[in-house]
């Protein structure tokens, strides 16, 4: 059964990773794979090499996406989380939204290939 595979940028709260793991979602943090000090480009390259969707607050990933698209270079997807989603409420919103995406993929109402690969999904 298809499932989201996520790669958390260092600015995403660790509580989000913990909550997603409790719901059985495959997620790693950049620090867990020695990428804590990596550049945005290195994060996107690493995540894509492992078929993981980057989850980030960093708007620079939208620029990287455009650069990669212009070169026809594929990536596994980017979920760009709005910076206004802070605190417990914001964390809850992010977790619920990602769980919903995962449920949609598992239920085949969405597709990783069509809805995430080479896409930027904005979560606000």
pLDDT of residue 12: 93
Q: Quick one: what percent of the chain has pLDDT higher than 70? A: 98
- Determine the pLDDT at residue 1: 67
pLDDT tens for each residue of 64-109 = 999 999 999 999 999 999 877 677 778 899 999 999 999 999 999 9
Cβ atoms < 10 Å from Cβ of 117:
15
Beta strands per DSSP E along the chain: 5-8, 26-29, 53-56, 78-81, 120-123
**What domains appear along the chain, each with residue ranges and CATH number?**
5-123 (3.40.50)
Please report the pLDDT score of residue 90 as a whole number: 84
Q: How far apart are CA 26 and CA 30, in angstroms?
A: 13
Position 124 confidence tier, pLDDT thresholds 50, 70, 90: confident
Across the range 35-58, mean pLDDT stands at 96
């Amino acid at each position: 059964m298809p499932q989201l595979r996520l790669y958390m940028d260092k600015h995403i709260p660790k509580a989000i990773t913990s909550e997603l793991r409790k719901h059985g979602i495959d997620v790693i943090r950049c620090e867990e794979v020695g990428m804590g000090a990596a550049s945005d480009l290195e994060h996107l390259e690493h995540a894509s090499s492992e078929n993981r969707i980057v989850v980030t607050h960093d708007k620079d990933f939208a620029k990287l996406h455009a650069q990669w698209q212009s070169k026809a270079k594929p990536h596994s997807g980017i979920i760009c989380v709005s910076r206004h989603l802070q605190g417990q409420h914001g964390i809850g919103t992010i977790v619920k939204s990602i769980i919903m995406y995962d449920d949609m993929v598992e239920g085949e109402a969405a597709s990783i290939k069509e809805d995430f690969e080479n896409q930027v999904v904005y979560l606000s």
